[in-house]
Structure 1
């Protein structure tokens, strides 16, 4: 019996919100019993009922699906982490079956080559969710002239000038934040994450390099204005007044609702599955996804060490994720060493590892540069955020204050 289909249906019983998200239609399943069962699930969902073992036991013809024991067996095959992969597999198998059917019919009825190709093409375009009637389309925009447009406003970056230039982080857009190591990338990302959380969004951080404990410690240091070195032994090193601030810092950070995933080598499919799950846990908060960093994302295919193809696949799937979830994706990237050999060490597009596809797919590219990083005696605490690509606006450089001891980022306009 088809294991992928068992895992697929089991996952739907375990987390019925997936039924809304899935591309699979009942008729694309191979096993007749599975087709029927999925049809029933769709009917129950349409009627506003939950899909779980309890509601499925009320089916009048439960026995024809193998009864309660078969449903329990399906549930044991559920695997939410791998749901995206299972879907893909089922679609591939369905395409193979369809292809064979078409070729058989073509041979029996002596079809023209052009007709065979047209029919085969149809299978490949079988995106199931791309249908909108004009009625639905018009219904959606009927009230527009009298409504404020919420979607054009991006997620604030907490840096006024940067918001002016980029409009904040926009839904469906990918921002690449790139710099040399130790330039402050992670601090800037955590700053963006905090600000977006306080603004009512749901910041999801996929940290492929830094463990959660270190991220939490950095968040506390930058929010409380504590020197990072003190975080190694707060009891001994923090002053009394800093200890008195501790509870407030905790309370403030808790309000961001930030979610941290620190597994190494996550794939975009895994990030999608985790994002989807959290979107259902926090239905009133729109997600914003932060990934640290690009070349640590695992690809599903092995490209025989061809880094360029690997980066291309990753950057395309980040863009798809931003569009599918209609949320901003901010991904960090390392720059290669070529920067160091130039007199002017401010980064350029060509400094991004395997930059071709990233340059194309990203909507916004930000580089970070600190003079003090290269000149140890410099008193200059500023950090330049260089907007090098901006699909919907101007490019240019924005200067912010950066405290490398606490990791805090502050708008230059802010006075204390």
Structure 2
């Protein structure tokens, strides 16, 4: 396109930002301090959410999906390559109702909880969220599914992929290694974000180097299997436990470290993770706790 047209579009965007300054213009995460840092999840961005196992990647991704769909009415597609859609539905139900996931998994639910479940299911039933649990998806298959859903629903607002290392490369070149395959996957996810003009949140594992260093705080070099994940991403968020903690405690302190932000500031956000309902909250943000 001609530069004159692009400059006009840039001016219109600047004017819009000026009129809405101070507001969250991207898809809100529901975590006030993280939203303040990122301005919400921005269209066309590839956002990498990375952590070592069992720190809460899936829980945080589901919290974001749930807030976007249930609270904000955003159209959300979740591609889960690790957990089944039934397991995810139970997690969503637990997070929304505040009921510990264990009784939901075993059937030991009391009368009070049954009434909560009925009320929450009624609230969530109309939320525009779709879950696909096809295992070992290739990046091409995922893009096809996302584009089809986007056409059927006349738009999408957010795509979540759990998790990147479980995806398959589209090409089956016997000479390619896993690093090359992950590079293809991260490029494909970035292309999808640009094609659909929506934020794509891809969960990713970190290498064991974090633990071997003797410090819990991750670095960009800890992204597992490929430097291209760092290169292709617009935002990288690390989750890690803040110091030694009691494993039996009901609440864990987790830090969300924005280590890369192509179009904005980096920084850290302290979070509380409540195990009873697998939900994250901003530390000392009473309004977020009260909202659930």
What range is the shorter-chain TM-score in?
Answer: 0.7 to 0.9
Q: Where does residue 201 of structure 2 map in the other structure?
A: 330
Equivalent in 86, 94, 115 of residue 221 of structure 1: 94
Q: Where does residue 301 of structure 1 map in the other structure?
A: 171
Structure-2 change in CA distance of 1:373 and 1:336 (3 Å): farther
Q: Where does residue 288 of structure 1 map in the other structure?
A: 158
- In the TM superposition, structure 1's runs of 4+ consecutive aligned residues that sit over 6 Å from their partners are 133-146, 148-152
The answer to whether residue 46 in structure 2 is matched with residue 193 in structure 1 is no
Q: Where does residue 67 of structure 1 map in the other structure?
A: none
CA contact (8 A) 2:25 2:39 kept: yes
Q: Does the residue aligned with 1:381 lie in a helix, a strand or coil?
A: strand
Task: Report the Cα distance in structure 2 between the residues aligned to 1:144 and 1:383, rounded to whole angstroms.
Answer: 35
Equivalent in 118, 127, 141 of residue 256 of structure 1: 127
CA contact (8 A) 2:47 2:237 kept: yes
The answer to whether residue 53 in structure 2 is matched with residue 184 in structure 1 is no
CA contact (8 A) 2:101 2:277 kept: yes
Task: Report the Cα distance in structure 1 between the residues aligned to 2:58 and 2:46, rounded to whole angstroms.
Answer: 17
Task: Report the Cα distance in structure 1 between the residues aligned to 2:245 and 2:185, rounded to whole angstroms.
Answer: 31
Task: Report the Cα distance in structure 2 between the residues aligned to 1:133 and 1:371, rounded to whole angstroms.
Answer: 50
Q: Where does residue 83 of structure 2 map in the other structure?
A: 210
* Mapping of residues 318-397 of structure 1, within 5 Å: 318-371=189-242, 375-376=246-247, 381-397=252-268
Give CA deviations for 1:289-310 in whole Å, capped at 9, x if unaligned. Answer: 1000111111112353512111
Considering Cα pairs closer than 8 Å and 6+ residues apart, tell me whether 1 or 2 has the greater RCO: 2
Equivalent in 168, 172, 178 of residue 44 of structure 2: 172
Q: Where does residue 32 of structure 2 map in the other structure?
A: 160
| Structure 1 segments unaligned to the other structure (5+ residues) | 1-131
Structure-2 change in CA distance of 1:153 and 1:229 (3 Å): same
Q: How many angstroms does 1:139 deviate by? A: 8.8
Task: Report the Cα distance in structure 1 between the residues aligned to 2:50 and 2:14, rounded to whole angstroms.
Answer: 40
Give CA deviations for 1:254-301 in whole Å, capped at 9, x if unaligned. Answer: 232110110111122222222222222222x53311000111111112
Task: Report the Cα distance in structure 2 between the residues aligned to 1:243 and 1:194, rounded to whole angstroms.
Answer: 21
Task: Report the Cα distance in structure 1 between the residues aligned to 2:244 and 2:124, rounded to whole angstroms.
Answer: 29
Task: Report the Cα distance in structure 1 between the residues aligned to 2:243 and 2:102, rounded to whole angstroms.
Answer: 19
Q: How many angstroms does 1:382 deviate by? A: 1.9
Higher helix residue share:
1
Give CA deviations for 1:84-111 in whole Å, capped at 9, x if unaligned. Answer: xxxxxxxxxxxxxxxxxxxxxxxxxxxx
Give CA deviations for 1:215-249 in whole Å, capped at 9, x if unaligned. Answer: 10111111111111111233xx2222211111221
Task: Report the Cα distance in structure 2 between the residues aligned to 1:166 and 1:269, rounded to whole angstroms.
Answer: 29
Equivalent in 267, 274, 277 of residue 145 of structure 2: 274
Q: How many angstroms does 1:147 deviate by? A: 5.8
Structure-2 change in CA distance of 1:270 and 1:253 (3 Å): same
Structure-2 change in CA distance of 1:226 and 1:142 (3 Å): closer
Task: Report the Cα distance in structure 1 between the residues aligned to 2:125 and 2:99, rounded to whole angstroms.
Answer: 18
* Mapping of residues 130-169 of structure 1, within 5 Å: 132=1, 153-169=25-41
Q: Where does residue 115 of structure 2 map in the other structure?
A: 244
TM-score, normalised with respect to structure 2: 0.87
The structure with the largest alpha-carbon Rg is: 1
